[in-house]
Chain A
């Protein structure tokens, strides 16, 4: 049963991957066609494959639910895969409203990246600690994921907008920042590749080290140690000695992973630039030739309008109700709570700027990008780095 469940996730992953070239093909075919025309055959195939993938992932979700006895949204792997699934779901719905295959070409890779990223964390089915044993787990967490996924669609649309609107004939702040965003996505891919490669090679290196309270401790690296732990002593034979070591207050293992990811990202990015001989943004630009700018702006904005109430409901309202039940108070300034508030404040500012200050188009697109970065920060950094009451969600 567990194998079946995991296989369903693989199938979903492969189907999502397969859908991308079809969405790409749809753009090539659709010379000079607006959104109102009948969608092309290629796009139809793409969306059908996406729906099949979505169904497979739903299968993964519910089989895992029945095995575990609780909704699989209780650790970082489960939550992040669910977030990826919601992203695909949100895309499918918006596709049927606006019929834009280009959105698939941008959203599906992001969803894939999210799911691949999730799979780098322990995938064991874990029992629920007492604080999590509540129906609010299902209600709160799924609503948050859905809200964030809808907001992520606005990021996908914003990216299309930026790729199309930014003038690539000359160097500017906009071209640079767009490259930074592209690099961020590539570095995530770098993380996935590096972790998978060394995990496949079964790389393990154990260290003795001295923690910040001057106690001896052991740590096992799964990547070669560029950054070693405080006064680290390599125990495993034939493994790379760390190049530098950091004070005990810093988590050397996580820092090492971050350095590996950004390094691998940099190499991938450099290779891409060498092959393409132009900026990534410039290379993607031709894909957006036939898209109507107003339309993607509207998709991006509407996603925020739809996602914001859902996020508020899940991330703040349901969160507060559950916190009152489980932790005796509805609000406790736990880092995860604070970052949910920050996300909410940010999108509130986004809506005010758009409605009252007339921040449309490019400005609005950049805001959608920043919003997505904040969401990802709350998902990744707050779980893995800041850690608080919600840290059981990490690993």
Chain B
């Protein structure tokens, strides 16, 4: 690689525009010399993307190192993201019919088109993920392409700068005639008061502060990369668990994905609503208008851990670990898991009771109570009376073939086929009993199962969550915030005070907030014989001030 030696003696890497040490313009670019103020972006250092363009790797590197490409990627991602909010995403639509039908049914031809284009699942589409990944690649390459040369240039800068460098700074001014040493002393003192780091070389001064703010963008990009890596880790098996757990009151259930280690008992589920009388009276008007407003969803639960090793099929021995209440915003945490209150079902049928009744005399011969989760086969009533449960349909409907069947195991609409035995009918009579209907398939019966009440239980719906990526994502977010604050709330300022012949030259540069820099220069030079530098871009609309 041919390196370039500047007249000051410093050897710069190929592609350097401004000498890293003295700032003299190195390239013979006539364009640059024509302008009054030099482009200070990246200190005019040699960036790989601006220097090489031969191999395939160079080309890919150059493509992604361009901020223009990066901004386009951001804009395209932004527009793509907005498209996904026109209609609800698939995860937010009710599960009542096939997805394609739902979109057409609700939103007509537009819904159909939306579905056909795949916009109903936009954020997990391959092209959206590709966009995000490209932004990630762009972040890495853009940062590497700039941060290394920038670091070199800032690290290697000398106090004494070339005349052409000073003259072409946005803030520049000269003072002719002799400037007494007291002025120098005062300026240095005032610079120090403003927390500048001062380097002196042969009576020349370089005052610098806030250089670390130049690293802000690169720090925040590192944070973003960590964040993106964290969100990809979710797809690694074992890192992320998202399960639903429905538990009825009184029921103890194994918590999924815990290898049978943990069990949860739902002691009680509570739904509370705001009460105009008891709660804050200020809510009165709002409650009158909106009606019922939920105040609390709460599951009182007991968490158990299995004791020792359990053989498959054997009831595990449980040991209570925790007893607490799960509420919205207050998940129950254990090990790496968290249980969240997300859903509920009130008053699910749990038991139904019936009276064995003589249809003509209305005389009863004892009652049976059917546990709808776990019914018994035979209910003995004594004195020669008994009832056999021949079939049970927890969620009854008539199937396509006209026979009764069950939609699910949940007792939403229980139906039973009973066989009633009595001294008069020792062979038994068959009766089909469902809610509000009775069918006697084998002719008229003497007895019936008269409905005698129900018991209900609430069911709580919990989300079982384990997310081992959270700390990485949090770390990425934290680093991003540090970087963005570092870059945005501090400014990198440099003031050069140099003796050139019998003149004193002052030049200054900042990466942003020129207004603040100007005020500071005023304060620093106040009371000295040194003239304030002037803004060479003032009243010039085509300004090219900021760098980075």
Contact = CB atoms under 8 A, between A and B. Distances in A.
A167 B287 CA distance: 55
B70 interface: yes
A353 B282 contact: no
A124 B515 CA distance: 45
Given A249-B107, A309-B481, A349-B75, A125 B544 contact: no
A355 B548 contact: yes
Interface in B526-546: 537-538, 541, 543-546
Contact of B78 (A346, A357, A361, A382): A346
The listed residue with most B CB atoms (<10 A of its CB), out of A127, A249, A352, A386, is: A127
B297 A356 contact: no
A222 interface: no
Contacts of B3: none
A213 to B, nearest CB: 9
Interface string B328-361: 1101000000101010000000000000000000
Nearest to A131: B328
Interface string A214-252: 000000000000000000000000000000000001000
Interface string A316-331: 1100100011101110
A348 interface: yes
Contacts of B68: 357
B217 to A, nearest CB: 8
B541 A324 contact: no
B274 A328 contact: no
B280 interface: yes
A133 B294 contact: no
Nearest to A316: B477
A339 B82 CA distance: 7
A30 interface: no
B153 interface: no
Interface residues of B, number: 70
B293 A129 contact: yes
Contacts of B297: 130
Contact of B77 (A295, A306, A345): A345
Contacts of B126: none
B548 A386 contact: no
A293 interface: yes
A212 B488 contact: no
A286 interface: no
Contacts of A349: 71, 74-75, 78
Interface stretch (B4-12, B25-33, B86-94, B158-166): B86-94
B328 A124 contact: no
Contacts of A212: 106
Contacts of A324: 470
Contacts of A317: 477, 481
Nearest to B271: A130
Interface in B64-110: 67-68, 70-71, 74-75, 77-78, 81-82, 84-86, 88-89, 91-92, 106-108
B477 A320 contact: yes
B398 interface: no
A309 B92 CA distance: 30
A133 B328 contact: yes
Contact of A131 (B71, B329, B541, B546): B329
A129 B328 CA distance: 10
B489 interface: yes
A124 B285 contact: yes
Per CB-CB distance, the 5 closest pairs between chain A and chain B, nearest first, are A130-B328, A356-B67, A124-B286, A126-B286, A335-B85
Given A338-B81, A338-B84, A345-B81, 20 more contacts: A122-B289, A125-B282, A125-B283, A127-B295, A129-B295, A130-B296, A130-B297, A249-B106, A294-B543, A298-B513, A301-B512, A305-B489, A309-B481, A320-B477, A328-B338, A333-B91, A345-B75, A352-B74, A355-B546, A357-B67
6 contacts: A68-B283, A130-B294, A130-B296, A298-B515, A309-B488, A335-B85
